[in-house]
A and B are shown apart, each in its own frame.
Chain A
Amino acid sequence: MTDAPIDLAKTGSEKPIVGRSLWKDALLRLRRNKAAVASACVLILVALAGIFGPMISPHPYDRVYPQYVRAPASLEAYPREEAIIPAFERAMARTRLDIGEIDVEGSVVRVSISSEDPLDPRIVRYIDRSDLFSNARIEDLAADERTGVLAADVHRVRFPFGTDANGRDLLARIFIGIRVSLAIGVLASFMALVLGVTYGATAGYLGGRVDNVMMRIVDILYSLPFIFFVILLVVFFGRSFVLIFIAIGLTEWLDMARIVRGQTLTIKRQEYVEAAQALGVSSWGILRRHVIPNTLGPVIVFVTLLVPKAILLESLLSFLGLGVQEPLTSLGMLISDGASNMRGASWLLIYPAVTLTAILFALNFLGDGLRDALDPKDR
């Protein structure tokens, strides 16, 4: 669950000729860049949260707590002390029993109960059903089974980030959102990267008629608006995670192709390329060894823009109601919901937004660090 630039570094390190010293060197220099190292750490942490968070979270991301709809974020445990007795009274009212004074002692609630008929042991379910209480039991049952003491444990839960409009723990939802968003961002960017760099470099390097045709195809695809693709894809194949990242990847490689082509047009006039051509190096060899590595600076800057862009595009889809399917969610979907709730339940916007910002900041600084580290001219 790292990001694309790291993958690049990996593939590069397998190339023996020019590669080894360049990539090794780059890695060394990257390590010296404190901001980049810190960003990498943040990203690793966030990725770990996305991978393992849903497993270790005390609340499943799709668990609904009907009693805690839109509970504000708080470090204190729910239920609040003052809320216990009224909630217990409400639950007891459903049992239609005569009840005495309610007594809260630590995390146990007790009340004496009596009824005209023998007490039905099933009444404890009324208490257990509430999210607030668990393990309800009848103690001190009298011989005639008409009076007794009903006891229940107060079930304390924490929602450090609050709950959403359905009463689900926002922290757990953010964990799963990170997983989905990062996966979409990374996969879509990777797809765009591979497609875009290959295509753009080929077009730019070969030039002439081939370039013309290839860029015309890009123009055509460009002019077909993105949402159009996605709506149709979603309509045909149903909404799925894979579909969304493919749709975003298919749109984003066009930008990449244009930028790489622009760079390539410049690079191919450089002396060393001409030298390689004179030496009879094949086109693909020149592309691989000279053109693509030299476009990497701007490309990496662009990828650091692309991952966030992919995540944001996904959020636009969520905004239009075409995002991932419930109960899954994404950071974009959480933010989109948060934006419409921002005046009543600001925590729904703040925490997902802060998470997304942290991810994107880290991606940016890491990208900058990589760019500085990879710059072949400054060796």
Chain B
Amino acid sequence: MLSRSIKAAMITTALTVGSAMLAQSAFAEVVYNRGNDTDPSTLDHHLTSTVSEGHLMRDLYEGLVVQDANAEIVPGVAESWEISDDGLTYTFMLREDARWSNGDPVTADDFVFAYRRIQDPATAAPYANILYPMKNAEAINTDGMDIEELGAVAIDDRTLEITLEQATPYFLELLTHQTGLPLHQASVEEHGDQYTRPGNLVSNGAYMLESFTPNDMIVMRKNPEFHDADNVAIDVVNYIPFEDRATCLRRFEAGEVLSCSDIPLEQMAYMRENLADSLRIVPYLGTYYLPVKTTKEEFSDPRVRQAISMVIDREFLAEEIWQGAMVPTHSFVPEGIGNYTEPARLPYADDDMLDREDAALALLEEAGIGEGELTIRLLYNSSENNRNTMTAIADMLGNIGINGVPEEMEGATYFNFLRSDGDFDVARAGWIGDYSDPQNFLFLHEGANLGFNYSRWANEDYDQLMRDAAAETDLDARAEILKQAETLLLEEVPVIPILYYTANSLVSPSLQGWEDNVMNVHGTRWMSISE
């Protein structure tokens, strides 16, 4: 009885496998099962904000400019563009053969429609501020100005003119973000908030939406109307969400997915040994740092903050706790960022840990804090790696007689707590750049930026430097001012940078065209699958 049912199960399995193989050879479609971090919160790109949503949007839509496999900016819907001498006016010439997936031509009006919609307060777009450099964008979004006033105008079907508030050297970078993508006006207006449904969604990118099953997969099929469709090698992409990284690793090893967007760090040693040709660990535009609550009396003294920073052995954290999946840093702005020189560094970056401990002890003494007198709560949001990091930091603080106590907090509460000036001593935070420019990292610590300035550090000089940088149009001079700001930041260390993020992925050797890059962008249209 038992063996019979097992046999039956095996026969069924064999049949299913057989028929699946038959089906595959009959159509001979190239299918790419692609692991993604999570499901998107929506496919309406005006309401998205995460990296995993960015991957989907990059495949569904094509902006004026796009990032190629190496994250270089190349023409997208715009075949060329002109920038006025004062840097305020961008004129984009749209390609003639740009088509929506229903065959309609992509016009300058589709972009104007999209840019107006994202700034419309009724849309409630979380990332509307990315496009605030456009003229009047901020006023429309927050002050009730009429959306017609937006600095984006269709001169004709194929010419789009965008005016800016002030010269923004990274404006083209911004346009590669998912907030810069067009929308098909007719279908959005027809279906309202149902326009993202499979069957309703009209896209202009290399792929179009076929189905979306939550927690299962998003299926995209090659868009035959796409102007470069001849060079798109993969016919179907299945985006599979993996909340559990280990699950992705197993399915990767079983050959069920060709790439994972993240990896289980606990199994780093195993992957290095067995999957060395698939493991990609690439520097990334992101910083893992520790805000210190500067409004508290014991942390208002920069010497105390500096002492804490000094005794943190970043190499140990990166190599042992994060298993090499993080890069130790003594700077806040990531290396390799655009429009910048080498980031500023903490002066003791190359010193030996023991010397640093001596220096830290001296600083504490100057600040009037003796051994064992200071207890610091180290707050973090639930995750095994955060927990291990804070445990290790508590141990390091013990070396200079500071008593570190790790304290865990559940995720949804955590950021709200940081933002609303919650009562913490030292916390952990991370920032992933939206675009490749130091401003996107340094603006976090501006005194008025209450949303991000968790340490509540207020420094008039710093704010002035940031204002000066915003007004400066010469890129080199601007970089110099920003570097002064970062240097000031590191002198005061209201936030202690400890690690740079890396983008960690598993990529099958048979998947061609996945090029490592600092923005971690990998459009499926550039890829192919070899046998």
Chain A positions within 8 Å of B, measured between CB atoms, are 64, 66, 69-70, 94, 125-126, 129, 165-167, 231, 234-235, 239, 320-322, 325-327, 337, 340-341, 343-345
5 interchain pairs, CB-CB under 8 A: A231-B410, A321-B408, A322-B382, A326-B387, A326-B406
CB atoms of B408 and A239 under 8 A apart:
yes
Chain A residues with CB under 8 A of B406: 325-327
A69-B320, A345-B269 provided; 16 other pairs, C-beta below 8 A?
A66-B320, A70-B269, A166-B388, A231-B410, A234-B410, A235-B410, A321-B408, A322-B382, A325-B406, A326-B391, A326-B408, A337-B384, A341-B266, A343-B267, A344-B266, A344-B270
Among B267, B388, B407, the residue within 8 A (CB) of A344 is: B267
CA of A125 to CA of B352, assembled, Å: 12
CB under 8 Å from chain A, chain B span 227-268: 246, 264, 266-268
CB atoms of A165 and B388 under 8 A apart:
yes
CB atoms of A167 and B387 under 8 A apart:
no
Q: With A166-B392, A340-B246 as given contacts, are A325 and B407 in contact (CB-CB < 8 Å)?
A: yes
Among A66, A325, A340, the residue within 8 A (CB) of B384 is: A340
- Contact of B413 with A by CB under 8 A: yes
The interface on chain B, measured as residues whose beta carbon lies within 8 A of the other chain's beta carbons, has a size of 28
CB atoms of A66 and B395 under 8 A apart:
yes
- Contact of B321 with A by CB under 8 A: yes
CB atoms of A167 and B320 under 8 A apart:
yes
CB atoms of B267 and A341 under 8 A apart:
yes
Chain B residues with CB under 8 A of A321: 382-383, 408, 410-411
Q: How far is the CB of A9 from chain B (nearest CB, A)?
A: 39
Chain B residues with CB under 8 A of A126: 354
Q: With A166-B391, A166-B392 as given contacts, are A94 and B354 in contact (CB-CB < 8 Å)?
A: yes
Instruction: Identify whether the interface residues of A are mostly helix, strand, loop, or mixed.
Output: loop
Identify the closest chain A residue to B406 (Cβ): A326
CA of A341 to CA of B267, assembled, Å: 6
Contact with A along B369-401 (1 / 0, CB 8 A): 000000000000011100110111001000000
Chain B positions within 8 Å of A, measured between CB atoms, are 246, 264, 266-270, 313, 316, 320-321, 352, 354, 382-384, 387-388, 390-392, 395, 406-408, 410-411, 413
CB atoms of A64 and B408 under 8 A apart:
no
Chain B residues with CB under 8 A of A341: 266-267
Among A166, A322, A344, the residue within 8 A (CB) of B321 is: A166
Chain A residues with CB under 8 A of B392: 64, 66, 166
CB atoms of B266 and A340 under 8 A apart:
yes
Q: How far is the CB of B265 from chain A (nearest CB, A)?
A: 9
Q: With A326-B406, A340-B264, A343-B267 as given contacts, are A129 and B321 in contact (CB-CB < 8 Å)?
A: no
CA of A345 to CA of B384, assembled, Å: 15
Q: How far is the CB of B173 from chain A (nearest CB, A)?
A: 35
CB atoms of A322 and B410 under 8 A apart:
yes
